Amino acid sequence: MAEETVQVDTEVSLETPPLMEPKTLIAVSALTFLLIFSFFALALTGDSDPSLSPQETIENDGWRAFSVVAPVDTGINVYHDHFRTNETYPSWLLDGLGVNKVCDLTFEGSWQERYDADKDSCWDTLVASDIVYFPGTKIIGSSPDGDSEILILDDPSDGHGSAVTGSVLNANPQAVIFFVEGFSTEAVIAAANQPLVDVISTSFGAPGSVPISGIERGTEIAVVEQGKMHTGAADNSPSPAIQDSTAGPPWSIGIAGYAEEGDDQKEIMSGSYPDISADWTQNLPNHDDIDGYHETSGTSFATPRTAGILSFVLESLRSEFNDDGAGASPESRQGMLVNGTDAEGNSFTVSNADVREALNRSAWYPDVGWDPTSGTMPISPVAPCTQTGWGLVNLSNIEPMIAHLNQSADLSERPDDVVACMNANQDMREAYWNAYPSVPEQPGELFVTGSQGAERRFV
C-alpha cells in the first residue's frame, strides 16, 4: 500500500517496510533531489468528472458537538472493542448520512461466533447500495464498489482498514466513523457525497509513488467542490510525494512518517517533501478478534491519526462556538467546516484553508537527537522541509491549533526559509496537477483559491 502498498489487483501488503543499505539511500536521495526539481516543468491534465448527488442534511436536536471522519480502506472489524460505544446515534444523524439499513450485532462470544450468529441476518444480506449503521459501535459503513467477499467487514485475510480506523479513534475517540470499503475513485466520491463528512482519509496508492493517475479526481471533488479535508498517505519509500496521486495533489494534505516514540527523526521508508509527518508506528486493533492489538508501522497509520487530530480540532471548535452541524456543505454551511456563533451571537466560521494554515504553523522540527541504531534518518537542519514538509504533527499540536483558530493565542509565522521551501512545494504540485491559483487580490494575502480550488499557502 502506498502508504502500505496496494497492488494493481487491489490486494493490500501489510508488511513492515524494509530498511535500505547506505549506498541505496544515497542513490535514492539523489534521485529524489532530481525528481523534486524536475517537477517545476511538469503538468498533467485530469479527465473524468464524476458528479455528486445532493443529500439533504438535518439539523442537530441538541446532541453533542461532533465530527465525521471517513476512512476509505479494506474493511472494518465492527466486533472489536476499540469501536464500541454506549452512545446510540440519533435518527437525524443516520438520515443525514444516508443510512438505509441497521445491523444489530451479536456482542457475545468469540469473533467467529459473533460473525456466525449475524451471518444470515446481516452479512449475507448486504449489497453495494447499503449504508449500514451498527448500533453499539461508532461505525456507519458502506461498500459502494461491492466487490469484496464480505461487504464492509474486514475479511479474515486482511486487516488494514481496522487498523486505519483505530488510528483515527486514538486521536479522537468521539469521532463518528463513516467507513467506506474500497480503493476506487468511486469509493472516495461515496464519502465526498456525504454532506456531514469532515475529513476523508486514504492510505493506498501506486507503489513507489509512480506518476500515474489514481484517486485525485475523487479527492478534488471532496475538497475543492465540497470544502472537506483530505489526508493522503505518502509512499512507504523515500520517493517524493509531489507526484503521488494520494498525497501529492495541492488540495490534499500529504503525510509521511516520523518516529514519534523514538528519536523523533524521519522514518527512512517514508515519503519525502510531504505536507507534514506524523506517527509512523502505533498499537492498533486486530481484524479477526474482539480485543487484540498489534504494533504496526507505515504512512498508512500516520495519515488517519492526522485525520483524527483534525477531527478533534473541529469538534472542539464546534462545541465552543455553538455549531451543531458537520461537514462543509456549500449549500447549508457556505463551505465552512465550522459555522457557528460566539457568546455574543457574532458569526464564527472556519474553512479548510484556515485549518490548513493552523496545521502548517503548528508543525515543528525536532532537536538534534538522532539515534544511529534506530533505523531512522536524521532530519537535516538545512531544508528539513524536503524531508518532513512543514514539520512534525502529533497530539500536542491540538491545543495550539484550537487556540489559533479560536483567536485566543496566535501561532507564530514560520521562518522565511521554511515558507519559501513549502511555497516551492506548492508551486510544483500546482504545476504537476495542473491546478493553478489566481493572483492574490491583496498584497500579503495568505490563501488564494484558483479556478481549480488549490489553496496556496504563504505561511
pLDDT in tens, 134-191: 999 999 999 999 999 999 999 777 899 999 999 999 999 999 999 999 999 999 999 9
Chain position carrying cell 483505530: 166
Quote the pLDDT of residue 368: 72
CA atoms 40, 360, 238, 72: torsion sign: negative
Q: Using an 8 Å Cβ cutoff, are 17 and 297 in contact?
A: yes
115 within a domain of the structure (yes/no): yes
Q: Residue 317: enclosing H or E segment and its boundaries?
A: helix 299-320
Distance from the Cα of residue 247 to its chain's centroid: 10
Within-domain flag for 12: no
pLDDT of residue 107: 97
Residue 230 CA, chain-centre distance (Å), reads 5
**What total of structural domains would you count in the chain?**
1
The pLDDT of residue 62 = 82
pTM for the whole structure: 0.84
Q: Using CA atoms, how far apart are residues 356 and 314, in angstroms rounded to an integer?
A: 12
> Is the CB of residue 305 less than 8 Å from the CB of residue 170?
yes
* Secondary structure element (H or E) that encloses residue 284, with its range: strand 281-285
DSSP bridge pairs for 348: 340
Phi, psi of 450 (to 5 degrees): -90, -175
Select from 206, 280, 289, 284 the least CA-distant residue to 248: 206
Q: Where are the alpha helices (DSSP H) in 349-453?
A: 352-362, 385-388, 398-405, 416-432
Query: What count of other Cβ atoms lies within 10 Å of the Cβ of residue 211?
Result: 17
Tell me, yes or no, whether 187 lies in a domain.
Answer: yes
Question: For residue 281, what is the domain's CATH number?
Answer: 3.40.50.200
Angstrom distance (rounded) from CA 224 to CA 303:
20
- CA-to-CA distance for 380 and 162, rounded, in angstroms? 35
CA distance 85 to 74: 22
- Model pLDDT, residue 171: 98
**Strand 101-102 vs strand 276-279: parallel, antiparallel, or unpaired?**
unpaired
Cβ contact 457:446 at 8 Å: yes
**Residue 284 φ then ψ, to 5°:** -130, 160
**The residue type at 289:** D
C-alpha 153 chain-centroid distance: 20
Residue 2 domain flag: no
Q: How far is CA 247 from CA 154, 299, 304, in A?
A: 24, 10, 13
The grid cell for 373 is 541504531
Domain region containing 130: 22-457
208 part of a folded domain: yes
How is residue 208 written as a grid cell?
A: 513507489
Q: How far is Cα 177 from Cα 308, in angstroms, rounded to an integer?
A: 10
The pLDDT of residue 60: 61
405 phi/psi in degrees, rounded to 5: -75, -30
428 φ, ψ (degrees, to nearest 5): -65, -40
The grid cell for 119 is 451471518
- Assigned domain for 14 exists: no
What are the start-end ranges of the E strands in 82-210?
Answer: 101-102, 131-133, 139-142, 176-181, 199-202
Residue 122 lies in a domain: yes
- Integer Cα distance of 163 and 413 in angstroms: 35
- Nearest residue to 209 via CA among 34, 32, 375: 32
pLDDT by residue, tens only, the chain of 459 residues: 555 443 333 333 333 354 444 434 444 444 444 444 444 344 333 343 433 333 344 556 789 999 999 999 999 999 999 999 999 999 999 999 999 999 999 999 999 999 999 999 999 999 999 999 999 999 999 999 999 999 999 977 789 999 999 999 999 999 999 999 999 999 999 999 999 999 999 999 988 888 888 999 999 999 999 999 999 999 999 999 999 999 999 999 999 999 887 677 888 888 999 999 999 899 999 999 999 999 999 999 999 999 999 999 999 999 999 999 999 999 999 999 999 999 999 999 999 999 999 999 999 998 877 677 677 887 888 899 999 999 999 999 999 999 999 999 999 999 999 999 999 999 999 999 987 554 444 444 333 333 223 343 332
**17 assigned to some structural domain:** no
Cα→Cα distances 138→63, 168, 250, 366, Å: 15, 12, 31, 35
Residue partners of 223: CB distance under 8 A and separation at least 6:
229, 230, 251, 252, 352, 453
| pLDDT the model gives residue 198 | 98
CA-closest candidate to residue 112, choices 156, 82, 149 = 156
Tell me how far CA of residue 399 lies from CA of 47, 60, 140, 408, 414, in angstroms.
Answer: 40, 26, 28, 11, 18
